[in-house]
Chains A and B, each alone.
Chain A
């Protein structure tokens, strides 16, 4: 199972600390949403503090570290430009939703992997968006962060939004991911705790685990696509078969 986290400078813990905590909690990997936190492929030539090489961090703690980016734009036009720029160098591309136009843009753009925090601001989600998300393979994020950290009315609203989103998304079988949106190692929760909390909120346990595993599947598929051997689905560069 994977968890998608924020890291320093966007959050209060470095990638290495998040990886260390995630390894202890039993995750297979972390998806780092903060673009500035990782420099893939710098080869670890000069050591910096905090560490920014995903492969070195992954080796040290035994969890996968996935380089991702969260695009938080003002509108679809700006988001579209950013997606085009980032698609070729990041394994997971997320678009922050939270307003109707951005939610709509994200689910209709097949280059986007995940629409994160669709309910954060004034944004709504409906059957039209769910169908588009399914057709374009855009995962919809279920953000458990407010359930874990908010109280009172904010939490009630977050729970109500999650329930509505769940009803729409499961009805259309749109792909989903689940995350606690941790900004520091203290906000991270182990998978069993997340499943238990989500179960209290009315989710099926297996469905939540599937949502946690989905991050890893997205990363695996996109790494394959970004590798030089990939031409298009089903077509790869390599040695042809010599024996039949």
Chain B
């Protein structure tokens, strides 16, 4: 189809979204997109969700940390931010999520807000509560494996 004249094209804003989860979480692109739309549908309703858009443009996630670019219709950024804030789990894996920033172009969004996390993770044994436990080390974060699941700790706790 012939594309629209410039004044009729939708205007977009691009949201850089940071994602965090436990190291054993496996979050895929499709699952994350579904979670976004599900959250928007529940919070904003079908009409509000359609207005906001919330299409996932790029997504990367590995070993407990990831980032994404989400496309939102201009003028609906506050609603989109609320919907993103309400994503509390993806496929049953709890996630921490935050909007790092908003840009007018995908390129500005990527240059300014993306690619800073994604420090590679390693496995290490650490002393936690008078016991040796295995932990996943990612940057300053230490996710310690205990009997009842992971506990989020920091380098400051352990070293």
A contact set with B: CB distance below 8 Å: 8, 12-14, 16-17, 19-21, 25, 49-51, 56-57, 60-61, 147-149, 151, 155, 184-190, 192-194, 196-197, 199-200
The number of residue pairs between A and B whose CB atoms lie closer than 8 Å in the complex comes to 103
Q: Are B96 and A21 neighbours in the complex by a CB distance under 8 Å? A: yes
With contacts A17-B157, A149-B88 taken as known, whether A192 is within 8 angstroms of B81 at the C-beta atoms is yes
B contact set with A: CB distance below 8 Å: 20-22, 42-44, 78-79, 81-82, 84-86, 88-89, 94-99, 126-129, 140-142, 149-154, 156-158
Residue of B nearest to A145 (CB): B88
What are 5 pairs between A and B in contact, CB < 8 Å?
A25-B98, A61-B156, A148-B85, A186-B96, A199-B82
Known: A149-B88, A200-B79. 11 other contacts (CB 8 A): A19-B154, A20-B141, A49-B127, A60-B156, A151-B42, A186-B20, A190-B85, A193-B81, A193-B85, A193-B98, A196-B78
A51 smallest CB distance to B (angstroms): 5
Q: Which residues of B contact A17 (CB under 8 A)?
A: 141-142, 152-154, 157
* SS class, residues of chain A in contact with chain B: helix
Cα distance, A57 to B126, chains bound together (Å): 19
Cα distance, A189 to B89, chains bound together (Å): 13
Q: Are B95 and A186 neighbours in the complex by a CB distance under 8 Å? A: yes
Q: Which residues of A contact B140 (CB under 8 A)?
A: 20
